[in-house]
């Protein structure tokens, strides 16, 4: 049986554990050297494939690859670039085939979220649409936890742990100073359409009498009067109020509280900062002294406090992607299946069809949000809690976490340049 080569790339916003998935893919490929030839990584995602900007992963040592498991960011570079349909941009697909042929690539592993799943699905159809045999497997990744079918998305558990931890610690800070200083603290977290990360902030306390006292979800229409009444009552009851708000909080008509008026490369609205927007409302309506913070990239880069469960699942999905490809699968994604909860929490990996994942989003079920819309339910807590369990601390050198430093050796180009 002839050995063909493989391509791996990372796409979209990176996470604390996307490199753990890369580690899983690479180590599995190396273990199957009798079936897969070389593994090339695309520099900056699918753009690396289009521009023939390939990295020879075989030049990396086993030690460096193992270190990816505790290294945040995207080791091979990521991108926000969505392939258009073959009808709209046939030349892109012709170029992909040209690059794949030039480097004998027959396996395609794409590590990303929902939009990346769409790209992977389109590549998987090259055999049908363009006559080129390739197997495309999507490796799940997104802090937003909005991929369907899979119980949870690799990357989410670690950001959930970071936000819950930060909320608990910041809550203690505010509580200690509220008598003479800040009364309201607002933490903005990621989550454009789904409030999973904001919900995870509620794990910081046992109930709404402990920080965070209020959670603002994208799934629940924002009403300023109701929010202010809740904040005011919280300050009167506890002396202070801690709020976790999703960046995608919106009004009844769907308008984001912090719409900046721009769109990103995937066509998503660019949001301009809901925390300062809410803080300004609090100052205007209630007059309380406030502070706000935006977790931003810190929440998705915090590998030092990653969830062990998340790291293990990210690595496992990477390995499973290779096993699925070798089993002849195409247009699928390794998905996490929950087998138990609480002390009996367990999981395994199942196969999910990409056509049911690409361009679909999983929102928080209404039964996960309290009736008043400002907190989580016990069912939500039961779902979230196992995902933040365990610690997988990276090694530390000179007081700082050690990370992989790859050589990123480039593959010699064989084709003429291509502009995207």
Catalytic amino acids? Answer: 144
Query: Measuring CA to CA, how many Å separate 371 from each of 209, 362, 366?
Result: 16, 20, 9
Partnered with residue 110 across adjacent β-strands are: 9, 138
Distance CA 281, CA 9 (A): 43
8 A C-beta contact, residue 120 and residue 161: no
Partnered with residue 9 across adjacent β-strands are: 110
Q: Is 247 annotated as a binding residue?
A: yes
8 A C-beta contact, residue 92 and residue 84: yes
Q: Is 269 annotated as a binding residue?
A: no
Q: Is 52 annotated as a binding residue?
A: no
Contacts of 384 (CB under 8 A, 6+ apart): 160, 199, 200, 203, 376
Q: Is 407 annotated as a binding residue?
A: no
Distance CA 310, CA 294 (A): 23
Residue 412 DSSP code: P
Q: Is 224 annotated as a binding residue?
A: no
Helix (H), strand (E) at residue 245: strand 241-246
Assigned token pair, 217: 């979800």
DSSP labels, 373-410: SSSB-HHHHHHHGGGG--B-PPPEETTEE-------PB
Closest CA to 121 of 46, 57, 47: 46
Q: Is 144 annotated as a binding residue?
A: yes
Distance CA 101, CA 132 (A): 9
Closest CA to 141 of 124, 109, 116: 116
Helix (H), strand (E) at residue 31: helix 18-31
SS3 336: strand
Q: Is 80 annotated as a binding residue?
A: no
Alpha-carbon radius of gyration of the chain: 22
Cis check: omega of the bond before 212, within 30 degrees of 0? yes
8 A C-beta contact, residue 387 and residue 157: yes
8 A C-beta contact, residue 187 and residue 201: yes
Q: Is 210 annotated as a binding residue?
A: no
Q: How far is CA 214 from the centre of its chain?
A: 24
Q: Is 319 annotated as a binding residue?
A: no
Q: Is 215 annotated as a binding residue?
A: no
Assigned token pair, 149: 């079918």
Residue numbering of the annotated binding site for substrate? 142-144, 190-192, 247, 297-300
Residue numbering of the annotated binding site for diphosphate? 13
């Amino acid at each position: 049986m002839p050995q063909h080569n493989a391509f791996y790339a990372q796409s979209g916003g990176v996470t604390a554990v996307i490199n753990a998935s890369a580690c899983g893919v690479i180590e599995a490929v190396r273990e199957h050297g009798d079936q897969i030839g070389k593994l090339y990584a695309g520099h900056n995602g699918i753009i690396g494939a289009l521009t023939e900007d390939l990295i020879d992963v075989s030049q990396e040592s086993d030690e460096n690859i193992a270190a990816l498991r505790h290294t945040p960011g995207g080791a091979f570079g990521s991108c926000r670039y969505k392939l258009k349909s073959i009808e709209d941009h046939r030349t892109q697909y012709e170029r992909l085939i040209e690059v794949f042929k030039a480097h004998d690539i027959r396996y395609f592993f794409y590590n990303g979220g929902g939009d990346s799943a769409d790209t992977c699905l389109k590549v998987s159809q090259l055999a049908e649409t363009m006559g080129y045999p390739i197997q495309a497997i999507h490796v799940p990744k997104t802090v937003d936890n909005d991929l369907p079918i899979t119980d949870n998305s690799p990357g989410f558990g670690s950001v959930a742990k970071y936000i819950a931890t930060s909320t608990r610690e910041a809550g203690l800070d505010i509580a200690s100073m509220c008598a003479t200083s800040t009364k309201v603290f607002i933490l903005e977290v990621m989550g454009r359409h789904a409030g999973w990360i904001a919900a995870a902030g509620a794990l910081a306390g046992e109930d709404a009498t402990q920080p965070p006292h209020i959670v603002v979800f994208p799934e629940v229409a924002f009403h300023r009067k109701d929010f202010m009444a809740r904040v005011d009552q919280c300050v009167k009851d506890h002396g202070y109020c801690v709020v976790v708000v999703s960046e995608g909080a919106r009004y009844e008509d769907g308008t984001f509280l912090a719409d900046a008026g721009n769109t990103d490369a995937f066509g998503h609205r660019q949001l301009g900062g809901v925390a300062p927007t809410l803080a300004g409302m609090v100052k205007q309506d209630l007059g309380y002294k406030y502070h706000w913070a935006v977790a931003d990239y810190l929440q998705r880069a915090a590998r030092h406090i990653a969830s062990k469960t998340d790291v293990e699942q990210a690595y496992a999905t990477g390995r499973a992607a290779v096993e699925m490809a070798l089993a002849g699968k195409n247009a699928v994604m390794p998905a996490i299946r929950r087998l138990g909860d609480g002390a009996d929490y367990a999981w395994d990996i199942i196969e999910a069809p990409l056509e049911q994942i690409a361009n679909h989003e999983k929102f928080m079920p209404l039964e996960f949000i309290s009736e008043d819309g400002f907190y989580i339910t016990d069912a939500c807590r039961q779902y979230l809690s196992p995902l933040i369990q365990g610690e997988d601390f990276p090694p530390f050198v000179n007081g700082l976490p050690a990370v992989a430093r790859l050589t990123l050796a480039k593959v010699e180009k064989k084709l003429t340049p291509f502009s995207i």
